[in-house]
Copies of this chain bind each other. A is one copy, B any other.
Amino acid sequence: MGVHRCRMCQADSVINMRQHRLALCEVHFVEWVEKMTLSFIKKQKMFEPEDRILVAVSGGKDSLSLWQILLKLGYQADGLYIDLGIDDGCDYSKRSGEYVRNFSQNISSEAQLHVLDLAGVYGKTVAEMAERRKGGRKKLCSVCGLVKRHEMNRVARELGYNVLATGHNLDDEAAVLFGNVLHWESEYLLRQSPVLPADGLGLVKKAKPLARFYERETAAYAIVCNIDYILDECPFSVGATSLRLKEVLNSMENNSSGTKLQFYFSFLRAKKDSQFPECKRSELSSCEKCGQATGAPGMCAFCRLV
């Protein structure tokens, strides 16, 4: 492999993105990521400078990079860290929280970090919440997802944020799309989007400003920007379906650069052109306990769990 030179300035490149046929040096890569994020935010009508954005931060590269990028682009973005109480012998949540706190101390003094201690509020860690359900690790991941979605939305509403931003990258989105396609989950397909509008039932607007970047690109951004993030995956994610799907997509990407990009964006284009499932979304109503939107009658899945 020859040394690639930055397309902008001919300096040694820090990254060569085969899918874009684009090699860039540190300075121009950072600039490119931020510029592309801004254009994706605008194109997808995610939010405006006057919006109050809550960024869900986990301590990983994607969410910390997202927070930094949004602040650099001049958006009003505060962070939310949910301490799920995951220990599993490696202090996972405790260590993740430290990365988030360290990060937040080094950024713009105007940006706030909110921390939600799940066990403090509900008396139970996410693993304890999942215990009542059968199904082992798989069930735990699904309970964890449910808890995070519910709590992120609740906190955003209670604190007056009108957009919830998450750090999902293209690898995440392509794997979710792949899973939905394998079971042809029409309703999930219909709902999968880098931006979801608020509904009238208490769900705030959701946005994924990094959904166009490969995981490799968000990792490179974090490293180049000296963002100190937790390298470990969640200990409970071992063997998770999403990781297997990512492996499959990675091997396909290795065979043919741009596979993931093509897969995700051709899907978004087909949706936009309405060449897409005219499936009815299930009727939603308000949870009788927390008031958030739910497809279930009575209480929502979270309130039933808790």
CA distance in complex: A19, B244 (Å): 19
A282 contacts B by Cβ under 8 Å:
no
Q: How far is the CB of A296 from chain B (nearest CB, A)?
A: 21
Q: Give the interface segment out of A104-112, A221-229, A265-273.
A: A265-273
Q: Give the interface segment out of A22-30, A142-150, A178-186.
A: A178-186
Copies of this chain per assembly? 2
Known: A181-B181, A248-B248, A251-B248. A274 touches B263 (CB 8 A): no
A262 contacts B by Cβ under 8 Å:
yes
Type the 1/0 row for A259-300, where 1 means its CB is closer than 8 Å to any CB of B.
100110011011001111111000000000000000000000
Q: How far is the CB of A176 from chain B (nearest CB, A)?
A: 14
CA distance in complex: A231, B276 (Å): 40
A252's contact among B248, B269, B270, by CB below 8 Å, is which? B248
Determine whether the beta carbon of B248 is less than 8 Å from that of A244. no
- List the B side residues contacting A185 at CB < 8 Å: 266
- List the B side residues contacting A259 at CB < 8 Å: 182
Determine whether the beta carbon of A278 is less than 8 Å from that of B269. no
- List the B side residues contacting A270 at CB < 8 Å: 184, 186, 277, 279
CA distance in complex: A154, B279 (Å): 38
Q: How far is the CB of A265 from chain B (nearest CB, A)?
A: 9
Determine whether the beta carbon of B279 is less than 8 Å from that of A278. no
Tell me the A154-188 residues at the B interface (CB within 8 Å). 181-186
- List the B side residues contacting A267 at CB < 8 Å: 184
Closest to A251 in B: B248
Closest to A274 in B: B278
Q: How far is the CB of A182 from chain B (nearest CB, A)?
A: 5
Q: Chain A residues in contact with chain B, CB under 8 A?
A: 181-186, 244, 248, 251-252, 255, 259, 262-263, 266-267, 269-270, 273-279
The 5 closest A-B pairs by CB, nearest first: A184-B266, A275-B279, A186-B275, A184-B270, A275-B277
Given A183-B262, A184-B269, A273-B279, 13 more contacts at CB 8 Å? A182-B252, A182-B259, A182-B262, A183-B266, A184-B267, A184-B270, A185-B266, A186-B270, A186-B275, A186-B276, A248-B248, A274-B278, A275-B279
